[in-house]
Amino acid sequence: MSKTLVKRAYRYRFYPTERQQLELLRTFGCVRLVYNMALQARAEAWDQHRRRINYHDTSALLSGWKRTDELAFLNDVSSVPLQQTLRHLQTAFTGFWAKRARYPRFKSRKRGKASAEYTRSAFRWRDGRLWLAKLDDPLDIHWSRPLPDNATPSTVTVSRDAAGRWHVSLRVETSVEHLPPGVDAVGIDAGLTALITLSTGEKIANPRHERRDRQRLARAQRVLCRKQKGSNNREMARKAVARVHARITDRRTDFLHKLSTRLVRENQTIVLEDLNVRGMIRNHNLARAISDAAWSKLRSMLEYKADWYGRTVIVVDRWFPSSKTCEQCGHRLDDLPLETRAWTCPGCGYTHDRDVNAARNVLAARRAVAACGDGVRPIRR
């Protein structure tokens, strides 16, 4: 059976000592500062001289910053994370120029998580123990799962999330064995009442993780609003809110991992629609529920796991009228309101469940997409 050589990241919790925590927080601050200064330099070069600055130019600027008295403290931390953040900035601009991402934003101390990336020259790996540059003691890592046999990390990313949890991500190169080839294919229709509906008729219920913890989240946010800005009590309340958000995110991610793994293992071909999630969340009545469903994250998991295990994911054009087309005779309705969950075809008299019918039409469209590409549009009247 064939194998695929892939790069995988294994993330673990770790518990730094007080000295390690101070050193890592200092590194995070320097990484954030260098990123923001490089971004400012690139923006000014374009605004004033219409000149693009690349990674090598910002690297030269970093060397100059280190020689100044005001920024001499940049020499106190490992130089590798500072260089890596410049590479990340270059990647962000490359995505922006290719119109795959928005313009890079400045990093904020109060927004999101802080992280630093170390390459092989800045860490030491020996007998399952990890030492980072500028740290004398190894990290106290909680090994929730083992690394692949004989795997050596190529990069290490240390991060601290908004809830104050410390994580280390080890990127290794390992081989993944393909699953036995099969003939089963399944169409998927995404929804809110049922997270996904399969062409087999099975419906996977939407766990609605955010709704289950909504009262707890609202209570924690009300406590936060009553705290004085800049006080220690407000910081404690902020972490309490962040812990609720982290709980929701972890449960959602765990559910999507289990669901995507099951679909990839059971089916050789998976067919789904190219949903415009960014446009759909502009509907303020459904934005919260759509964000909680995390359809884009599920699609991403299906695609990379299918690539690992020798499966195929086919994406049907977003304008394909899967819900309004009868999967028995092909009759297409002019309009089908969202609140209509079942309808009877005027052509053949067959009664459809809206979601099951859409999933079966998506599955039927896979042949056209496989033959002609995902740009195939439905026939317009």
Are 279 and 312 in a shared domain?
Answer: yes
Report the 3 state secondary structure along 7-20.
EEEEEEEECCCHHH
Domain boundary among 177, 196, 218: 177
Are 194 and 130 in a shared domain?
Answer: no
Q: How many CA atoms are closer than 13 Å to the CA of 12, on its beta-carbon side?
A: 19
pLDDT score for 328: 87
304: part of which helix (H) or strand (E)?
Answer: helix 295-309
State the Cα–Cα distance between residues 158 and 140, nearest whole angstrom: 13
Assess if residue 148 is contained within a domain. Answer: yes
Going by C-beta distance under 8 Å and a sequence separation of 6 or more, which residues neighbour residue 23? 77, 134, 135
Are 17 and 124 in a shared domain?
Answer: yes
- Cα R_g (the chain), whole angstroms: 25
State the Cα–Cα distance between residues 40 and 25, nearest whole angstrom: 23
**What are the C-alpha distances in Å from 7 to residues 4, 10, 153, 258?**
10, 10, 10, 20
pLDDT score for 334: 86
Q: How many CA atoms are closer than 13 Å to the CA of 120, on its beta-carbon side?
A: 6
Which residue ranges of the chain lie beneath pLDDT 50?
376, 378-381
The CATH number of whichever domain residue 189 belongs to comes to 3.30.420
- Residue in 210, 292, 327, 355 annotated catalytic: 355
pLDDT score for 47: 94
Assess if residue 239 is contained within a domain. Answer: no
Are 151 and 138 in a shared domain?
Answer: yes
Are 113 and 200 in a shared domain?
Answer: no
189 is known as an active-site residue: yes
Are 307 and 262 in a shared domain?
Answer: yes
Tens digit of each residue's pLDDT (9 = 90 or more) over 36-53: 999 999 999 999 999 999
Are 261 and 362 in a shared domain?
Answer: yes
Assess if residue 232 is contained within a domain. Answer: no
Assess if residue 252 is contained within a domain. Answer: no
Tens digit of each residue's pLDDT (9 = 90 or more) over 194-212: 999 999 999 999 999 999 9
DSSP track, 222-281: HHHHTSPTTSHHHHHHHHHHHHHHHHHHHHHHHHHHHHHHHHHHH-SEEEEE---HHHHT
State the Cα–Cα distance between residues 225 and 240, nearest whole angstrom: 12
State the Cα–Cα distance between residues 128 and 102, nearest whole angstrom: 39
pLDDT score for 369: 63
Are 346 and 323 in a shared domain?
Answer: yes
Task: Please give the biggest Cα pair distance in the chain.
Answer: 81
Are 264 and 130 in a shared domain?
Answer: no
Residue 21: which domain range? 3-177
Assess if residue 87 is contained within a domain. Answer: yes
Are 283 and 172 in a shared domain?
Answer: no
Tens digit of each residue's pLDDT (9 = 90 or more) over 342-378: 989 988 888 899 999 999 999 998 866 655 555 545 4
- Residue in 117, 189, 292, 327 annotated catalytic: 189
Q: Domain count of the chain?
A: 2
**Closest to 122 (Cα-Cα) out of 23, 12, 34, 37:** 23
Are 135 and 278 in a shared domain?
Answer: no
Strand order of the sheet with strand 269-273?
203-205, 194-198, 185-190, 269-273, 312-316
State the Cα–Cα distance between residues 297 and 292, nearest whole angstrom: 11
Long-range contacts of 221-229 (CB under 8 A, 24+ apart): none
By the 8 A CB rule, do 5 and 156 touch?
Answer: no
pTM: 0.88
3 state SS of 337: coil
Are 49 and 113 in a shared domain?
Answer: yes
Domain boundary among 160, 177, 194: 177
Domain boundary among 177, 194, 213: 177
State the Cα–Cα distance between residues 299 and 359, nearest whole angstrom: 15
70 is known as an active-site residue: no
- Residue in 117, 210, 273, 292 annotated catalytic: 273
Assess if residue 375 is contained within a domain. Answer: yes
